[in-house]
Amino acid sequence: MSTLVIVESPTKARTIKNFLPPGYRVEASMGHVRDLPQSATDIPATVKSEEWAKLGVNVDADFEPLYIVPEDKKKVVRELKAALKNASELILATDEDREGESISWHLLQLLQPKVPTKRMVFHEITSEAIGNALQNCRNINEQLVQAQETRRILDRLVGYTVSPLLWKKISWGLSAGRVQSVAVRLIVNRERDRRAFKSGSYWDLKATLFAPKQEFPAQLVSVRGKNIATGKDFDESTGRIAANRNVELLDEAGAIALQNRITGKTWTVGNIEERPNNRKPSPPFTTSTLQQEANRKLRLSARDTMRTAQALYEQGYITYMRTDSVHLSQQAITAARTCVEQMYGANYLSPQPRQYATKSKGAQEAHEAIRPAGETFRTPQQTGLSGRELQLYDLIWKRTVASQMADARQTTIAVQLQVEDAVFRASGKRIDFPGFFRAYVEGSDDPDAAIEGQEVILPAMAVGDHPECRQIVPSGHDTQPPARYTEASLVKTLESEGIGRPSTYASIIGTICDRGYVQQIQNALVPTFTAFAVTALLEEHFPNLVDTGFTSKMEQTLDDISTGSANWLPYLREFYHGKEGLQILVKNGEKEIASDAARTVHLEGLENVKIKLGQYGAYIQVGEGDNTINASIPTNFTPSDLVPEKIETILKQKIEGPDQIGIHPETNEPIFLHVGPYGPYVQLGSSKDDKAKLKRASLPKGMQLEQLTLEIAVDLLKMPRTLGVHPDTGKKVQANLGRFGPYVVHDRGKDGKDYRSLKGDDDPYTITLERALELLAQPKVTRGSAQVLRSVGTHPADEQPVEIYMGKYGPYVKHGKVNVSLPKDSSPDDLTLEQAIALLATKAPAKSSKATASKTTTSKAKTTAKTGTSTKAKTSTKSSTKSSTKTSKTTTTKTTRTRKATVKG
């Protein structure tokens, strides 16, 4: 007999096994083994007729959840039960946060062990940590489980009641979420601010001066004793100088006149001010700050950051990555200070060990910051890691080590220079001692380069000196609207407002992108027309659900439940059944919300036209009755793009037809500019001609319509360029421009086409066949960044390959046209053919069409809508064709409110 240890993932199981005594068997649960039903087909036949079953929560029986074992977890549960039969002891070693506590509790409910059972927790996978955890096992924390279950029920109630309302009133497939909808509203409000923003213009002068041995810049700050206006002096709602600002606004003529007046005049140093200051290192990483910094420095999404950090934790490289704490253990402080002394010298150590206090709202979860694991820190070079894992470990290592280093000491220098009645300022910065800068500078990849970048050295000057002026240049500026959210700034705002948990931010951002509420343009999160419509509906009819204060209080209540200072049941009753509870609001919304009004998007400054959402996207509507004109808005247009000038262009093309740019110099055919559903494109010949023979080319990314000339259009229509034939197939290789940028394509005939995007300086007009072949030889990455990781074998049903891909939103297994995401805690490296086939069996090929999906008035759609399919469940709902016999076999377990199965330590 042995001791059975259950963790979440195979990778974690392999790592922890190295530190356990002989006689211990480690198995993986592959994440959660039970959950609420994700679709109508998951609901057991015994309760299918019950109205509450569509929610998966019996709202009239103390919110009792209906837990089922998903089809893809049944085999895992069978294997765990079989392993338990040969065990003399069970240790539940899932993660130490609420989610991990919940997984352990569910395992206990399912397995019903008859042997002694313990709960083991640890925040790093090292020999010492595992040894200590074995000696200090405890009971399952019922309060943590209750808090997690309450959170899950709240999310289900919101998602499965409000989402179907959005389907009926706006569009099929939309979703609402307790935190998701607040995040969308933040992004929409920022875009509203950008639309309402009025830009202002101002001018100033920049001078290049020379003192002994060195040129340096100086900026105009005042004229005739009055400060010069800068961007901060403008009112964003008017584009004019704010009423309380007593400043001099220079226009272009005034700037040039001042330039002429002071040119050739004597400059005098009037005042020199030096101000020393110290900068302290940032605290070690929490979940939130790691996501922010990885997004800024490494351009990793929150999802990619958490996925990579999870892998590092499970392999034993870092401590647990879901934490709100900035605290470091004494062991970690000693390890970090040893690194500092060995690598930088004792003078770079902080005089005393640094300990940091957690300031974020409702901080909880793991008790230590994210840091390198172990009592000694491996340097990044010693890990053998590569790619993203190396980059992220390097970031964590540097931040942790820097936290124990001395302050950076620097001096800021301001030199005032007088010429006639104008005053200029030259600013400098001197680093007197780099301190922690030597290891880590926030927002910079290279500490040494960052140190150099932070220093601005001015020449030695004294009051009364007369530096030489070598150049004066007038400079015009326009004030800029508020910056859009990036993933980093959104995460920072969510955390500072106390909305959601940092461990969920990755999935929240992923969901709002998946659902079409937000698109990422470069690194910015840009809301869609759908986001505006949904946010407006929720603000009017469900104001609490999108109120940051209400959501923050909800998080605090969940924290109170986890500590036993609040009761979960009265809270749920008030939230759902109260006088202004969710149940009443949804019923009222069904009656009061008019679909036409809900599908109308109101944008600042567009009062004379209607922006509406239709089956095929957003469109412009003008006129009434028989004179109504509808014109589609290109899918790559964002709400902020929709200014009156662009609306006029779209409507003009709809009414008058496309603009003719000119005549092609070689074919003598007309070239037209069209604006299609995917943006503007040029077309050779009239649409009255044979459409199959028409030649078209999209405008390159970033090109504005007004930049298009006949010469550019002719060049665009040269695409595709045939570069030659592929030496392996004899088939042609071409370069072309597409919706997602320039690319090369190898037409392999019946074997399909092989595409590769161009990189760096590659130019589709000049790229050679040799370079194209080089690109085509590289591993394929599709538009969604889906890359084949490996093949796990062939499917026994048809002998077709079963492969694992890494897509934009994580790893998935693919067979034919069926794609299934890998479970949260499974690794692409560990998946076997048998496991892959089991996953694929949970999802049959989709049979529904867009038309079918859009007909929400049919009885089938009504039934599905009532079940309230959640974000992750929608795909499964659409595609599942499982028979009712399989449904009837779904394993079901109802939660017992007494929670009698307490784990004994």
So which residues are the catalytic ones? 320
CB-based contacts of 382: which residues, under 8 Å, 6+ apart? none
Closest by CA to 664, choosing from 600, 604, 735, 716, is 716
Residues 57 and 105: beta-carbon distance below 8 Å: no
Residues 285 and 421: beta-carbon distance below 8 Å: no
SS3 percent helix, strand, coil of the chain, rounded to 5, is 40, 25, 40
State the residue for tokens 């640094």.
354
Compute the distance between CA of residue 820 and CA of residue 818 in angstroms, rounded to an integer: 7
- The radius of gyration computed from the CA coordinates of the chain, to the nearest angstrom, equals 31
CA 225 to chain centroid: 48
| DSSP letters spanning 375-415 | SSPPPHHHH---HHHHHHHHHHHHHHHHTTBPPEEEEEEEE
Torsion of CA 802, 808, 811, 816, to 10 degrees: -20
Q: What is the 3-state secondary structure (H, E, C) of 70-97?
A: CHHHHHHHHHHHHHHHCEEEEEECCCCC
Task: Describe the strand order of the beta sheet including 892-894 as a list of residue ranges.
Answer: 57-58, 64-68, 892-894
Compute the distance between CA of residue 485 and CA of residue 189 in angstroms, rounded to an integer: 10
- ∠ CA 291-289-125, nearest 5°, is 80
- The CB-based long-range contact list for 634-638 (8 Å cut-off, 24+ gap) reads 634/675, 634/676, 634/677, 634/678, 634/679, 634/680, 635/677, 635/678, 635/679, 636/678, 636/679, 637/679, 638/191, 638/519, 638/521, 638/526, 638/527, 638/528
Residue 714 phi/psi, 5-degree rounding, is -60, -40
In the Cβ-directed half-sphere of 8, how many Cα atoms lie within 13 Å? 25
- ∠ CA 672-654-621, nearest 5°, is 150
DSSP code, position 902: P
State the residue for tokens 């997602």.
740
From residue 757, give the alpha-carbon distance in Å to each of 40, 726, 786, 794: 41, 17, 13, 29
Compute the distance between CA of residue 902 and CA of residue 482 in angstroms, rounded to an integer: 53
CA 38 to chain centroid: 24
- Other beta carbons less than 10 A from residue 356's beta carbon: 17
Compute the distance between CA of residue 283 and CA of residue 743 in angstroms, rounded to an integer: 44
What ranges make up the beta strands (E) of 591-650? 600-601, 610-614, 617-622, 629-632
State the residue for tokens 């700034």.
489
- 566 is written with which tokens? 């609040």
Q: What is the 3-state secondary structure (H, E, C) of 214-270?
A: EEEEEEEEEECCEEECCHHHECCCCCCECCCCCCECCCHHHHHHHHHHHCCCCCEEE
- Return the SS3 of 738: strand
